[in-house]
Amino acid sequence: MTTTRKKLLLPNTMARPGWDLANSRKDVEAIAFSPTMPTPEFRALLRDVDGIALTSTPFRAADIEAAPRLRAVGRIGVGYDAVDVPALTGRGIPLMTCDTDNSPTVAECVMFMMLTLCKRGPGKDALVRQGRWSTRYDELPTELLGKTVLIIGFGRIGTRVAKRCLAMEMKVEVYDPYVPAQAVRAAGCEPVADLDAALPGADYVTLHCPRTPETVNLFDAARLARMKLQARLVNTARGGLVDEAALYAALEAGKLAGAGIDVFSPEPPLTDNPLFTLSNVVVSPHMAGNTRESLDRKSLTVTRNLLCVLDGDTPKREYVVNPEFVGLGSDKLPGKL
């Protein structure tokens, strides 16, 4: 008697541990695909797969329709802007993320950007390399000690950023309308109910919310103008939360001290982006959540999640984006990463 093998479609960029797990199962056939392959070729592969892991590949209703056997979808990360969740739910297909696998990684990147900005890392490096030792007091660095950081979004990542900022002896304020004030205070932080009222007192603002209709251009020219001249803005969440043209104008005019940007709109950004001309801006290519360690963790989590569903088991509540599918309730709170 022969048993039909479960077919998993996995990105060829996925870390080795996930591949090893899939290949260790004799009842599983793991098929590689390129996240940038043409749509017709991608949909041809979808025809007879039972589960798929996604990186940045969009997964729309037409893609789901092209996969009649599909039973499980996993995201190697936590964001799912490019996935048609209602279409999956309509088919009874769970979408699962990697929950906390990359949140420590992003939190570390936030601290890296904050420290790079306040310690003027690139400028000091250039000063030594260019033989400008005698000018080292012209632009003194600053400290995080005693400064106020405003964290927007108190989910998986925001809570970890808070712990690290508290360890640096900073005052931590939190704006998140979906988290009770007592939960914020229990974490040693101060809740703020009015974002605009809190901005003038913040030395650092760091964003940890998803891109939704209500958060697009959350930081536009008017909101940036509320920040103090010495303040610095960090965005490792999603492109589109910050109006890049308004941010450039504020930085170039000296109305903001600096910015750390890991995400852009569009991505990849155009190489003539004016932000790249400013010395008080630190940029990175949407890599805040990616390290050797986090990629290994995520590859294992996404593969385990897919196999869990294909084996007929119920995935853990914390991984499922559309929990109504598995009867876990639909009380997942929006507004945080």
* 96-124 pLDDT, tens digit each: 999 899 999 999 999 999 999 999 999 99
Distant-in-sequence, close-in-space partners of 259: CB < 8 Å, separation ≥ 6: 117, 232, 233, 234, 235, 247, 251, 275, 280, 281, 282
**Residue 313: predicted pLDDT:** 93
**Residue 323: predicted pLDDT:** 83
The CA distance from 321 to 82, in Å, is: 13
C-alpha dihedral, 245 to 251 to 255 to 260, nearest 10°:
100
Taking each helix axis from N to C terminus, what angle separates 292-310 and 103-118, rounded to the nearest 10 degrees? Answer: 160
Q: If you average pLDDT over residues 72-89, what whole number do you get?
A: 93
Please tell me the number of Cα atoms within 13 Å of 298 on its side-chain side. Answer: 31
Q: Report the largest interatomic distance among the alpha carbons of the chain, rounded to a whole angstrom.
A: 81
Nearest residue to 77 (alpha-carbon basis) of 210, 259, 243? 210
The CA distance from 149 to 258, in Å, is: 14
Q: Please check whether residue 155 is in contact with residue 100, taking contact to mean a CB–CB distance below 8 angstroms.
A: no
pLDDT band at 326 (very low <50, low <70, confident <90, very high): low
pLDDT digits (tens, 9 = 90+) for 240-249: 999 999 999 9
Q: Please check whether residue 85 is in contact with residue 323, taking contact to mean a CB–CB distance below 8 angstroms.
A: no
The residue among 176 and 82 whose pLDDT is bigger is 176
- H helices of 143-214, where? 156-167, 181-186, 195-198
Q: Residue 328 above 60 pLDDT?
A: no
**Residue 332: predicted pLDDT:** 42
Q: Residue 334 above 50 pLDDT?
A: no
pLDDT digits (tens, 9 = 90+) for 195-208: 999 999 999 999 99
pTM of the model: 0.89
pLDDT band at 331 (very low <50, low <70, confident <90, very high): very low
The residue among 247 and 78 whose pLDDT is bigger is 247
Q: If you average pLDDT over residues 164-176, what whole number do you get?
A: 98
Question: Average pLDDT, whole number, for the chain?
Answer: 94
Question: For a pLDDT cut of 70, what percent of the chain falls above it?
Answer: 95
| Residues facing residue 75 across a β-bridge | 54
Q: For residue 51, give the 3-state DSSP assignment.
A: strand
Active-site amino acid positions: 238, 267, 286
Please provide residue 303's backbone torsions phi and psi, each rounded to the nearest 5 degrees. Answer: -70, -45
**Residue 4: predicted pLDDT:** 83
Q: Residue 336 above 70 pLDDT?
A: no
Q: Which residues in the chain belong to E strands, given as ranges? A: 6-11, 28-33, 51-54, 72-75, 95-96, 148-152, 171-175, 190-191, 204-207, 232-235, 258-261, 281-283
Q: At 6, list the tokens.
A: 């479960």
The CA distance from 138 to 126, in Å, is: 14
Question: For a pLDDT cut of 90, what percent of the chain falls above it?
Answer: 89
pLDDT digits (tens, 9 = 90+) for 2-51: 468 999 999 999 999 999 999 999 999 999 999 999 999 999 999 999 99
How far, in Å, are 10, 220, 230, 273, 335 from residue 167 at the CA level?
Answer: 39, 31, 22, 35, 25
What is the H or E stretch that residue 248 is in?
helix 244-252
Q: Residue 329 above 60 pLDDT?
A: no
Q: If you average pLDDT over residues 214-235, what whole number do you get?
A: 97
The residue among 332 and 266 whose pLDDT is bigger is 266
The CA distance from 276 to 248, in Å, is: 9
pLDDT digits (tens, 9 = 90+) for 86-98: 999 999 999 999 9
How far, in Å, are 31, 35, 159, 281 from residue 65 at the CA level?
Answer: 19, 19, 38, 43
The CA distance from 252 to 272, in Å, is: 15
The CA distance from 113 to 119, in Å, is: 10
Q: Residue 161 above 50 pLDDT?
A: yes
pLDDT digits (tens, 9 = 90+) for 279-323: 999 999 999 999 999 999 999 999 999 999 999 999 999 999 998
C-alpha triplet 337, 281, 111: angle, nearest 5°: 45
Q: At 219, list the tokens.
A: 């930081």
| Residues facing residue 32 across a β-bridge | 10
